[in-house]
């Protein structure tokens, strides 16, 4: 991976790096439609939505270049390996283009490194080549040595994308230049790439994280970062979606 200089990147060109996220548990259908329509209107990299809304996102984004992204195990990661495999398969069946998952951090913290890596390897196999991201929770890892070791296990398992955090739950932490630089260093020369997530809420921070080695940014603050007006609620549009 070659790290580029994004310091002069026009604000609106950032859209192609941003996976705009709304996975709020109280988000209504109208909220989700407005969110996805914003992604379509402004050419965001992806609309990140909860699993249930994936078919709706596919409907709205049909004919655009915006991808449908989803996630599972957010903030927990404690399902069985087979349970996670089935969740991943369901994401694929629903039509997701990309899927993020949270590793079982309890395995790693227990010193069960082989089991931690096995989970990742089984999910890579079940992903069938789909872009697949591990939301590694750096908030649970107290030393750089732990971060390096955990990342190396995921890289060796063949996880295509590795994140510093889910941005959700007790293990989440804000993305920092230091952590993203470390991830980029550890993924260099492998098939793994870096996505940053957690409190990315300004143009300046987004550009700094790209300069540190992130290739994607996960954020719920895309409109603020890009200087866009909030989307109108979907109930006011004449468009009717089938899902």
Q: Catalytic residue numbers?
A: 100, 163, 195
Of 239, 236, 228, nearest in space to 44 by CA:
228
Q: Is 61 left (phi over 0), alpha (psi -120 to 50) or beta?
A: alpha
Please state whether beta strands 67-72 and 18-22 pair in parallel, antiparallel, or not at all (unpaired).
unpaired
* Residues 48, 201, 228: CA angle, nearest 5 degrees: 75
Provide the token pair at 206.
């987004």
Distance, CA of 94 to CA of 90 (rounded, Å): 6
Q: Are 216 and 195 in contact (CB under 8 A)?
A: yes
């Amino acid at each position: 991976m070659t790290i580029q200089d994004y310091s002069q990147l026009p604000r609106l060109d950032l859209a192609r790096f941003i996976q705009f996220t709304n996975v709020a548990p109280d988000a209504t259908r109208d909220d989700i439609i407005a969110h996805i329509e914003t992604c379509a209107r402004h050419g965001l990299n992806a609309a990140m939505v909860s699993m249930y809304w994936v078919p709706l996102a596919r409907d709205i984004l049909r004919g655009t270049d915006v991808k449908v992204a989803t996630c599972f195990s957010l903030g927990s990661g404690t399902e069985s390996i087979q349970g996670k495999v089935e969740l991943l398969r369901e994401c694929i069946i629903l039509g997701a283009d990309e899927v993020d998952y949270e590793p079982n951090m309890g395995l790693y913290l227990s010193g069960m490194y082989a089991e931690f890596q096995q989970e990742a390897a089984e999910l890579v196999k079940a992903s069938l080549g789909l872009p697949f991201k591990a939301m590694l929770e750096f908030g649970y890892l107290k030393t750089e040595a732990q971060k390096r070791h955990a990342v190396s296990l995921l890289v060796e398992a063949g996880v295509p994308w590795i994140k510093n955090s889910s941005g959700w739950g007790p293990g989440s932490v804000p993305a920092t230049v230091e952590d993203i630089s470390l991830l980029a260093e550890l993924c260099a020369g492998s098939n793994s790439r870096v996505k940053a997530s957690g409190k990315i809420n300004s143009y300046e921070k987004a550009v700094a994280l790209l300069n540190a080695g992130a290739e994607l940014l996960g954020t719920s603050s895309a409109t603020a970062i890009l200087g866009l007006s909030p989307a109108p609620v979907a109930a006011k549009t004449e468009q009717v979606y089938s899902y």
